[in-house]
Amino acid sequence: MPDTKLIFHDNKFFGFSGSVPYDAEFKLPRALTPDEMAELTRKYGIEFQLGLEIHYKTKHIGSYWLFTGLLTPSGTGAVAMPVGRNEWDLKDIYHTHLGDSAVPSEEDIKSLTWRFEQGIQTEAGLIPAGEPIPARVVIYYPNTHLKDYMPNGKYHQPRR
């Protein structure tokens, strides 16, 4: 990871210099858009997650962070954002899914439910990176089940 940097020019995000490091984190000068997040996943073949630091006592907003996925034997490229660090909680703004799955994984829901129980957040988003641009953000909620996001489920969000 020592040679890898994020490339921004005139506040436009262009990607990484060099190869993308797996299971890494980068402090951002601003939040990435859903289109930028989807493009990263399409380009590098792994999931990415955008997190926002929130001070656990004062609730002051800190920095945005980009987390890179890890290549797994199943080829999922899954990403796992840390819970937080020191006095900062990390809020999951959104993360990408490879392909066009608009259904949160069990791990997505479990992680969000824990953050909800800690008072960090009440919803999160996922970006199905295999869908056409403009990218959409599918909102999901704590204490729900996969079936809730399937067709005919109460939180199913079809592409418009």
CATH of domain 27-149: 3.40.140
Q: What's the average model confidence in pLDDT over 25-50?
A: 91
Place of tokens 């945005």: 64
Between residues 32 and 59, the one the model is more confident about: 32
| Three-class DSSP labels, 7-44 | EEECCEEEEEECCCCCCCEEEECCCCCHHHHHHHHHHH
- pTM metric for this prediction: 0.86
Q: Residue 64: helix, strand or coil by DSSP?
A: strand
pLDDT 10s digits, 91-111: 999 999 988 888 999 989 999
pLDDT 10s digits, 2-26: 456 777 767 777 677 777 778 888 8
Taking CA 143 as the corner, what is the angle to CA 140 and CA 145, rounded to the nearest 5 degrees?
70
When the pLDDT of each residue in the chain is averaged and rounded to a whole number, the result is 85
CA-based nearest residue to 50, from 70, 22, 30: 30
Residue 74 confidence (pLDDT): 62
- Distance (Å) of CA 11 to CA 30, 32, 67: 8, 10, 19
